[in-house]
Structure 1
Amino acid sequence: MSFNVSYLIECLLSGVKYIHVSLILAFVPLTVGTIFGTLIALTRIFKVRFAGKFFSIFIPIYNGIPGIVTLFIYNLIYLLFFKPTVTGVIWVALFTFSLGQATHLSESIRGAFLAIPKGQYEACYSAGLTTFQTLRRIIIPQVIPVILPAFTNMTVGAIKNSSIVFAIGVTEVLNGATIPCGTTYSYLEGYVAAAIIYWILNIIAENLLRLAEKRSAKYRSGGKS
């Protein structure tokens, strides 16, 4: 078996056409997961009745299930009740990834909140600030730089893990890069092309987030750059 460079380029061009799908499958769940993960973390930190206890049990259980298993489960539920469409399958993937990101990020976010000394909450309350004002003005600006390293890893993982949707028929970078392989049945070039595209996407995302980490570091040093 020989490696054909021109064929690799063809696979690269084919995979590039579906970068937007992979980015949607990565960043929409990250956004949704960050929002709901923060809410979940806060319910546990402030010990909200019922919700806090529920998530303290649900999160460890759900995080113990591989993402591809939950993807298959939700896809089978979808096929059981609805007529399959391309848009519908993408929504299944978005739901699966969003829930997974929310449960994983909630743990990292909770840890970041717990890293802030309790004395800061007490000082804010004594100054007359409400809990919402305390979180918005004092706590969250300090949590952001703490959570960014973990968020960087989650982003890189989200871009890579978007490839598992090939299992339910969604065409993204991996499937797109291997489309030309259907005529020759030589898939090595297609997989290498997909690996190159994912690597470039992750390098860009990681560098941007590392820059954000440096910029947010002033909150950890009392405003000193």
Structure 2
Amino acid sequence: MIFDFQYVVTSFTTAIHYIPATLALSLIPLFLGIIFGTMIAVCRRFRIKFVAPLADIAIPVMKGIPLVLYLFIMNFLIFKPFDMLAQYYAWADIIRYMDKLYIGIIAISIYAIVIISETMRSALMSVGKGQYEACYSVGLTRWQALWRVILPQSLPVAIPVLGNNLIGLIKGSSVVYLITVLDVMNGALTTAQINYRFLEAYIAAAFIYWGICLLTEWLFTVWENHTKKYQMRIDKHNLRKEVL
């Protein structure tokens, strides 16, 4: 079968309609991962009782589980109870019309929390102990030091890795086609199932993922440069105060 670029264009125009689904499957887990991952990283960094030992055991174990397994596990954990209820109460349509996009978001969010917690923990550990001692010497509590000094200094360190995490989530979100969620990958394949032009469909999906990842990398580079300039202004301001 001769390669036909026209089918690439057809698959491309079909797949772009599912970009919002792919962004939801990556941006929502990123947001939840930053919130809960940072909380876990802080607990491990400051050795919070009960939470830190539990996280020390759970995070390495969960980090070793592939994303596709999270997807399948959450699919069965969520759908199995609903399936039993549907059979008992004769709810024939509850499973048929349930949007599996939410299952994909939940599964990818769990995966994102695990990997981003490691990212934030590394960023927190990049701040020297002298910064903590300086905060305590002026009367700041542990949480005041964390919020005012430690996190602002660790954020520029974490941003490049967070960008890579997001790119990984964007590419990893393509596995949701296994539970029949229509994202960019599955959207591109809908035309291939009619004309059997799977190579053209895969190339069209690759172009879309490539464009999204390039835009993501550029946005995180702008964010990183902004935080560095902001940190430099703060350092200059503090230096002037010390001189005066």
TM-score range, shorter chain: over 0.9
Match for residue 242 of structure 2? none
TM-score (norm 1): 0.95
Letter in 1 for 2:191: P
Question: Of the candidates 153, 162, 169, which is equivalent to residue 158 of structure 1?
Answer: 169
Structure richer in helix, relative to its length: 2
Query: Is the partner of 1:213 in helix, strand or coil?
Result: helix
Letter in 1 for 2:35: I
Provide the C-alpha distance between the structure 2 equivalents of 1:115 and 1:219, rounded to a whole number of angstroms: 18
Question: Of the candidates 88, 92, 110, which is equivalent to residue 99 of structure 1?
Answer: 110
Structure 1, unmatched stretches of 5+, are none
Match for residue 134 of structure 1? 145
Provide the C-alpha distance between the structure 2 equivalents of 1:5 and 1:111, rounded to a whole number of angstroms: 45
Residues 172/124 of structure 1: CA separation in 2 closer, same or farther (3 Å cut): same
Task: Select the structure of larger CA radius of gyration.
Answer: 2
Superposed displacement of residue 85, structure 1 = 5.0
Identity %: 38
Match for residue 40 of structure 1? 40
Corresponding pairs, count: 224
Provide the C-alpha distance between the structure 2 equivalents of 1:16 and 1:88, rounded to a whole number of angstroms: 20
8 Å contact kept, 1:142–1:219: no
Superposed displacement of residue 155, structure 1 = 1.0
Query: Is the partner of 1:123 in helix, strand or coil?
Result: helix
Letter in 1 for 2:136: Y
8 Å contact kept, 2:70–2:108: no
Superposed displacement of residue 87, structure 1 = 4.8
Q: How does 1:1-225 map to 2 (within 5 A)?
A: 1-83=1-83, 84=95, 87-218=98-229, 221=232, 223=235
| Aligned-pair Cα RMSD in Å | 1.4
Provide the C-alpha distance between the structure 1 equivalents of 2:23 and 2:54, rounded to a whole number of angstroms: 32
Greater alpha carbon shift after TM alignment, 192-201 vs 121-130: 121-130
Moved over 6 A (4+): none
Q: Deviations over 1:135-186 (max 9, x none)?
A: 1211111111000111111011111111000001100000001111121122
Structure 2, unmatched stretches of 5+, are 84-94, 237-244
Provide the C-alpha distance between the structure 1 equivalents of 2:112 and 2:222, rounded to a whole number of angstroms: 22
Superposed displacement of residue 30, structure 1 = 0.3
Superposed displacement of residue 223, structure 1 = 3.6
Superposed displacement of residue 187, structure 1 = 0.8
Residues 48/194 of structure 1: CA separation in 2 closer, same or farther (3 Å cut): same
Provide the C-alpha distance between the structure 1 equivalents of 2:216 and 2:96, rounded to a whole number of angstroms: 31
Provide the C-alpha distance between the structure 2 equivalents of 1:105 and 1:34, rounded to a whole number of angstroms: 6
8 Å contact kept, 2:11–2:191: yes
Provide the C-alpha distance between the structure 2 equivalents of 1:186 and 1:156, rounded to a whole number of angstroms: 27
Greater alpha carbon shift after TM alignment, 201-210 vs 132-141: 132-141
Residues 85/220 of structure 1: CA separation in 2 closer, same or farther (3 Å cut): farther
TM-score (norm 2): 0.88
Superposed displacement of residue 86, structure 1 = 5.6
